[in-house]
Amino acid sequence: MNSPILNKLDTGSPVSSAFRAPPANVDAEKALLGAIMMNNRAFERVSDFLLPQHFSDPVNARIYDACMRLLEQGHQANPVTLKTYLERDEAVIAAGGMGYIAALAGSVVTVINAGDYGKLIYDLHLRRELIALGDDMVNDAFDVLPDETALNQIEKSEQKLFDLASSGTIEGGFQNFERSVKMAIEMAEAAHKRDGALAGVTTGLVDLNRKLGGLHKSDLLILAGRPSMGKTALATTIAFNAARDFLTTDDAHDRGKVVAFFSLEMSSEQLATRILSEQARVSSHDIRVGKLSNEDFAKVVGVSNELSTLPLFIDDTPAVTVSAIRTRCRRLARNPRKGAADPSSSSLGLIIIDYLQLIAPNRGERSENRVQEISSITRGLKALAKELNVPVLALSQLSRAVELREDKRPQLADLRESGTIEQDSDVVMFVYREQYYLERAEPSQKPEEKDDHFNERHNKWKLRCEAVHNTAEVIVAKQRHGPIGIERLYFDPRFTHFSDYIDSGMLPETPGLE
């Protein structure tokens, strides 16, 4: 009896493609194992990237694993030394026992191609993993779950692809010092040609730019502070200034780049209102409740027309994961750059995250230990900065230990929940406003305290308030490649706006005034 299905199978039609064997090259695996046993130095050509699980044949994987363990302990790896570890291994016995291992060593002609064999084995392993990943993607897509949206599945699949791509690399390793020196000279030459101009992305704040040299590529920068210190306000100021610079710069390398702002705490509308308030010098509270004069409303509309052209993108997804941040930033980086000298280059110039403690752990990485979760998040953000070669500015909360000290200036030890925030970051900055604490510490007259003594204390308090009125400090507590110190900024709480601080002693004298 003729069957249509059997006929299709016999003729090699598309139905038979479902039975294709995963790509593998057992001969290359045997040749590599034989080369290693013949000359143990052949292992050095593949040890950086090749692992036992990369072999398609389980027996060959066991033999490679035994060789690897022996060589790492400083012993010889050959059929004689392997016998102790593998002669009772059931899989090796089924393949022919020690005779199989001896045949591998005896059939080798040369060890010159050991590195090529290893690269081929690794490449085929990646192809098998891609096939398995594709199967998982198909099965997950068919399995419709109420708490697993299609977009979540896409982000999870992209994360798996990234993990697969970064699980090992054939390239890398040592490079000679001559090349390193050449790269350092090229960087110094580029800095010399800038003639004092910024090396990184501008913050728009002169003193802070001078201290940091701008926000540098591949750096993870932490901006931390207690609530109401102005972390988000400073972050939005930097985002606006950087986006405006990307729009107007004459530098073809930076022209057309964009700023990605992940607002995990506030909605995009609230963040936009803040920026409108800052730039129009109109109270954000008045904008929200509609208490605007015709003049103020005209200013807000005028500023909004200007802001609408800024290359600033806001993502206000709550509890977003590092893998989702990475996925969305990659998509943004792939967008063509308008006005760039090389339109194919990355369009991403700066990533800002508000704030670190609101990032959710990746699926499958949830831990009862919050410190471990934060450690994983900071490592992921540093890896993101290096992968996309852009600065990542992440805001962070501080512990309440600050409030227990007489001097409320933050310290590195105050970083909340994990010391790895300090460890993984290239720059740690704190925002501190002494005015905030002084206003809440107005002295009151003590029982039986004389009026003149109380007035003296109160006057001292007023003088201190006046000295720090509308000022803030950015404390650079750690900078991997530069100096630390304190920079003073002007802060207007009405508009939550930061700008450069100008000392009254530096202002020009007004004619006619004594």
Query: Tell me: the pLDDT tens digits for 162-204?
Result: 777 766 555 555 566 777 677 667 666 666 665 556 677 888 8
Instruction: Give the pLDDT confidence score for residue 120 in this predicted structure.
Output: 92
Helix axes 370-388, 322-334, angle to 10 degrees: 10
**Which of 52-61, 182-191, 239-248, 477-486 ranks highest by mean pLDDT?**
52-61
Query: Which tens digits make up the pLDDT trace of 233-259?
Result: 899 889 888 888 888 887 777 778 888
Predicted pLDDT of residue 398: 83
**Which region, left, alpha or beta, applies to residue 256 given φ > 0 means left and ψ of -120 to 50 means alpha?**
left
Q: How many residues does the chain have?
A: 514
Distance of CA 401 to the CA centre of its chain: 28
> Highest mean pLDDT range out of 7-21, 23-37, 190-204, 304-318?
23-37
List, in order, residues 6 or more apart from 143 with CB less than 8 Å away: none
DSSP class of residue 432? Answer: E
Question: In angstroms, what CA-CA distances link 275 with 131, 196, 279, 313, 317?
Answer: 47, 30, 6, 13, 19
122-126, 380-384, 420-424: lowest mean pLDDT where?
Answer: 420-424
User: Residue 71 CB: number of other CB atoms within 10 A?
Assistant: 17
Q: Which two tokens stand for residue 391?
A: 């600065």
* pLDDT of 121 higher than 80: yes
When the pLDDT of each residue in the chain is averaged and rounded to a whole number, the result is 79
pLDDT of 126 > 70? The answer is yes
Could you tell me which of 254, 244, 234 has the C-alpha nearest to residue 306?
244
* Mean pLDDT along residues 96-110: 83
Which residues are paired to 428 by β-bridges?
A: 222, 478
Strand partners, 261: 314, 352
Q: Which domains are present in the chain?
A: 26-166 (1.10.860.10), 201-426 (3.40.50.300)
A 10 A CB-CB count for 228 gives: 9
Angle at which helices 294-307 and 268-280 cross, to 10°: 110
Which residues, other chains included, contact 299 with Cβ-Cβ below 8 Å and sequence gap of 6+?
Answer: 280, 281, 282
Residue 512: pLDDT band (50, 70, 90) is very low
CA-CA-CA-CA torsion sign (211, 183, 116, 93): negative
**Per-residue pLDDT at 169:** 56
Which range of 4-8, 21-25, 184-188 scores highest in mean pLDDT? It is 21-25
Higher-confidence position of 134 and 363: 134
The predicted model gives 259-276 an average pLDDT of 84
Q: Lowest-pLDDT range, 50-59, 284-293, 372-381? A: 284-293
> Which whole-number Å values give the CA distances from 55 to 30, 142, 158, in the listed order?
10, 31, 25
> Across residues 211-240, what is the average pLDDT?
87
Number of other CB atoms surrounding residue 127 within 10 Å = 13
Q: Are 60 and 26 in contact (CB under 8 A)?
A: yes
Provide the pLDDT for residue 352: 92
Phi, psi for 398 (deg, rounded to 5): -115, 155
Rg of the chain on CA atoms, in Å: 31
The answer to whether the CB of 484 falls within 8 A of the CB of 477 is yes
Helix residue ranges per DSSP H, 57-176 = 58-72, 79-86, 90-95, 98-106, 114-142, 150-166
Find out whether 233 and 498 touch, Cβ atoms under 8 Å: yes
Range scoring the smallest mean pLDDT among 30-34, 54-58, 255-259, 344-348 = 344-348
Q: Are strands 312-315 and 258-263 parallel, antiparallel or unpaired?
A: parallel
Q: At what angle do helices 98-106 and 58-72 cross, to 10 degrees?
A: 80
Q: In the structure, what pLDDT confidence band is assigned to residue 1 with cuts at 50, 70 and 90?
A: very low
**Is residue 199 a contact partner of residue 347, using CB atoms and an 8 Å limit?**
no
The CA-CA-CA angle for residues 200, 227, 399, to 5°, reads 90
pLDDT computed for residue 18 by the predictor = 56
| Percent of the chain whose pLDDT exceeds 70 | 84
The pLDDT of 311-330, averaged and rounded, is 83
Percent of the chain with pLDDT over 90: 7
Q: What is the pLDDT of residues 277-315, one digit of tens each?
A: 878 787 777 777 777 778 878 878 878 887 888 888 888
What is the pLDDT confidence band of residue 13, given thresholds at 50, 70 and 90? very low
The pTM assigned to this predicted structure is 0.68
pLDDT for 337? 57
Q: Which residues pair with 490 in a beta bridge?
A: 471, 499
